[in-house]
Every structure is written in C-alpha cells, then in structure tokens.
Amino acid sequence: MTDSVKVQGPHVALLLGEAFERVRRATEGPRWRGLRQSHLRILDTIEPEGSRAVDLARRLRMTKQGAGQLVATLLRLGLVDQVPDPADRRARLLVLTDEGGELRGALEVRLAAIEEGWADEVGAAEYATFRRVLLAIAERGVDGA
Amino acid sequence: MTDSVKVQGPHVALLLGEAFERVRRATEGPRWRGLRQSHLRILDTIEPEGSRAVDLARRLRMTKQGAGQLVATLLRLGLVDQVPDPADRRARLLVLTDEGGELRGALEVRLAAIEEGWADEVGAAEYATFRRVLLAIAERGVDGA
DNA sequence: CCCTTTGGTAAAGTGCCTTGACCAGAAAGG
DNA sequence: CCTTTCTGGTCAAGGCACTTTACCAAAGGG
C-alpha cells in the first residue's frame, strides 16, 4: 500500500541514462587504454580461476560472438590471457594478466573515489540508501521485462 | 565529513548500467514501434512549441548529424513533423504529431508504472531518497569529468 | 559588403553488437 | 562402438547508432 509517491521531474530512464553516461565518461578515454564500458565489464567479470568466454557472455547477456570480439581486443592489448581448460578440450580459460589486473584495480579505485564524492555531496546515509535501492533494482529489474 | 561509507559489492558503473538496461528493455521492442532509447529521448526532449534539431543535439550531447538521423527516422514513422521556424529561415521546428504525442504519453505511463513497482518493493521513503540522489548525480555528474 | 557564425544536409567510416553458418570436442543413448 | 545431440568457439556478413569531413544557405555583426 504505497501512498502513491507521484514521482515527478525527468523520468527514470532519462536519469539512469544520464547518470550512467557520467560514470562512463569518467571511466573511458585514453587514460583507460581507450577501452569502452563493455570491455571493462568483461575485465570485471573474469573470475580469479579464469572464466570461459561463453560464461562471460551469459552473465553479460550478450552472444558468445559479441563477447568473443571484446575478448579479442583485450587479448590484443595484453590485458587477458588464454589458458586451455583442463576440464574441456574445446574451451579456453581467460585470465587477467598482471597488466589487466592493474587496470581493473585502477578502475575500482577510480569508481570508489567517484562514489566517495557523491556520498560527500548528498550525505552518507542518503547515499547508502541510494545504493541499496539501486542494487535491488539492478537485481530484480522490471516486472514486465 | 563523511565517515567514509566504504562501499562494497558491485561498483556503481555495473549497477547503473544494469539498471539502465532494465528500463531500456522495458521501453523498447515492437510495442514501441521498435524505437531505441535514443529515439525516445529525442521524442521526449521536443518541446511543446517545437524544437530545432541542433538544440536537441546539444541537450542530448551528440552531433547535429546524429540527431538528424534519429529525427529522420521519427519523421518517416510519422511521429514528428517539421514546420518552418518563423524566426530563422534556415531552421525547421520539430513538433510531435498526435501519434508521437500518444507514444510519448504511453511511455510516461509505462515508466511511472515501473517506478511505482520499485517504490512498492523498497518502500516509498527509500525510493524517494533514491530518486533525489539519482537526480543530483545526473545533474552534477562526476568531478573529474 | 565581407567575414564569421550557425542550422542543416550528404557521404563515408567506425565500432559494438547481432544473425547465420560452421567446426571440433563432449555427453548420452542404443 | 557409433550415432545423435549439445556445447564452446570462430569466421563472415550485416545492422545501426553514432562520428568525422565536407559542404550549402541563411544570419548577423563589423
């Protein structure tokens, strides 16, 4: 029984899109080897023991071909490496190189700094709430989709 | 003096990206004429008195050519119309057709319903906070970008 | 009148991503 | 075993939202 919050102002799609574009701009560009958000997501999703391309694709909700192309770029840049999967001769495990790990670490630091800045502006408690709701939304999504 | 919220879990870029993709999926597809988020943003940005393409481009942070292409699609679909700008003979004002207005209205209704659903799940007060912080982030952005 | 600025268009290219087709190894059934 | 099906991966082609480069025509100020 929500008393109908009667949301106003720009709608969520615009706000989320705008906010996302802000972080995107802050985590792309030459300082990050020119990688796009999708590359960073791949980098971020690779597990310590190594991940198969098809698993990355599934988790990121894209085709294995799409993921394969992003991985190819990361391979070319020397940020990830391929090792044969001992459990399946078809598969290859993707692992971060030292350089890839460093980049991923730098990304985390950068994003943490951004979040700190935001928390400073709106207040720690408010930001904590924001993050909690955002997490819920990201996980559960939209009823009709 | 924020007592250093020490954020954890998936970082903001992932969360915002995921949340945005959710609303995106809920506002695209055949039910919406197959238009993408960028088309809907154009539709949403057109002002009642009519807007010039270059202004839309500026507000949406893209080149006028990019905006022009999206507008061309909307023209072809009969969702917007062009009228000469009385104040500048080079310019043309873009206005919503009845059909375009209806689509925009339907989009607003859909998004409001989504927000209602979220507010129900996390609580009205929490959602209000979420929205306020999101608005602040979307407006102010990131210090270093 | 220049000359610069500005709204718009045209053409070509870029890059993320998709679909479609295919191959090689795996997995399950006789 | 040997088939059938499934699955991890790659190659090739195309879609599509953009961008860059180049241009035209009107505006507007010295």
Please give the residue range of the domain that contains residue A57. Answer: 12-139
In a domain, B145, yes or no: no
Q: Which protein residue has its CA closest to C1' of C27?
A: A88
In a domain, B5, yes or no: no
What confidence category does residue B82 fall into, taking pLDDT thresholds of 50, 70 and 90? very high
Q: What is the pLDDT of residue B2?
A: 46
Q: Are strands A92-96 and A51-52 parallel, antiparallel or unpaired?
A: antiparallel
In a domain, A145, yes or no: no
In a domain, B26, yes or no: yes
Mean pLDDT value across residues B126-135: 97
- Count: domains in chain A: 1
Q: What is the pLDDT of residue B6?
A: 62
What confidence category does residue B4 fall into, taking pLDDT thresholds of 50, 70 and 90? low
- For residues A96-120, one letter each, b for 16 or more C-beta atoms within 10 angstroms of the residue's C-beta and e for the rest, the string is beeebbebbeebeebbbebbbbbbe
In a domain, B92, yes or no: yes
Q: What is the pLDDT of residue B60?
A: 95
Select, from the ranges A25-29, A87-91, A141-145, the one with the highest average predicted confidence (pLDDT): A87-91
The Cα–Cα gap between A119 and B25 comes to 29
The answer, for A30 touching chain B at a CB cutoff of 8 Å, is no
What confidence category does residue B143 fall into, taking pLDDT thresholds of 50, 70 and 90? low
> Residue A6 CA to chain centroid, in angstroms?
31
Identify which of A115, A142, A143 has the shortest CB distance to residue B12. Answer: A115
In a domain, B107, yes or no: yes
What confidence category does residue A2 fall into, taking pLDDT thresholds of 50, 70 and 90? very low
Residue B130 pLDDT greater than 90, yes or no: yes
In a domain, B3, yes or no: no
Q: How far is the CA of B144 from the C1' of D27 (A)?
A: 37
In a domain, A4, yes or no: no
CATH code: domain of residue B85: 1.10.10.10
